Amino acid sequence: MKLGIWLDAVRHERPLVHNITNLVVNNIAANALLCVGASPVMAYAHEEVGEMAGIAKALSLNMGTLTPEVVTSMRIAGRAANAAGVPIVFDPVGVGATGYRTQVATDLLRAVDVSILRANAGEMSVLLGLAGQVKGVDALQADEALPAAMKHYALSSGTVVVATGPVDLVTDGHTTWQLSNGHPLLAAITGSGCMLTALLGAFVGVVPKESPLSTYAEACVAAITSYNVAAEQAAQKADGPGTFQAALFDCLYDLESGAVDAAANVEVAPA
Ligand code: ATP
Ligand code: TZP
Ligand code: MG
Ligand code: MG
């Protein structure tokens, strides 16, 4: 699978990505999008989110710091995106940590047609009804049945399902990919998953409309691998988490599509 062409497409098309994300990561998610060549916008007001989602190339929804107002913003934006055929990425941050988060995630997935569901492996296990564990927003434990449950969910809902961690899993229900790029320093900074959720918006934002789910899955594999290869490069330059975060932006900005393909560690999982 050629992945670098997706990064080139993002740089060429500069997709507008509408983010409804959390108070912790608004700035770094916007910067990550700018670094790969996308156009970020953060918009929350009920009065404008429908209009903004309708003109965006992708809508990225993130549950990190929920309030009832933000939940309503997500619903309005989600419905408008669905009506306009704009793909939605959903990150159920902290699902399972509180009853409220679990309720909001479940309700949103019923109310809105999500194209990409991304969570850490603990959150994904909880969301899919398995024995996962989360501590606040951090993954503690995934269930060994997670790959099968992700496949089942992908097939039944027509969603690309992405569970991240030291090894990332991406499935469209037919094929599951195991991605092994990245660096442990990603787990030492806040928002590394949330930045990825924003970047998934940029990459699915350049998928031609009416494409099959497998094309969206390919764009997700490219987004994750691009990000994780940039993280590997950043770790070489960094002295610790602080310099790593700055180097991650620099490396995303300088990332070459050829370097993504050369460093990609992507395997199709056995059926
Ligand atoms: P958590 O809060 O549990 O860290 P998260 O939502 O931040 O969850 P992660 O699962 O940490 O999300 O994934 C964020 C990014 O970091 C992904 O690109 C993933 O591949 C990468 N990553 C996380 N941990 C590692 C690791 N130990 N080695 C390599 N890459 C990692
Ligand atoms: N608290 C609420 S949202 C958030 C924290 C610490 C950021 C979570 O970021 P990530 O990418 O899921 O680690
Ligand atoms: Mg994290
Ligand atoms: Mg997260």
**Residue-wise pLDDT tens digits, 154-196:** 999 999 999 999 999 999 999 999 999 999 999 999 999 999 9
Binding residues, as ranges, are 42, 118, 164, 191
Residue carrying the six token digits 């494409």: 211
pTM of the entire predicted model: 0.98
Is the per-residue pLDDT at 132 higher than 90? no
Is the pLDDT at 270 greater than 90? The verdict is no
Count Cβ atoms below 10 Å from residue 45 Cβ, excluding itself: 10
Ligand 2 centroid to Cα of residue 78, in Å, is 21
Counting ligands in written order, the one closest to the CA of 227 is 1
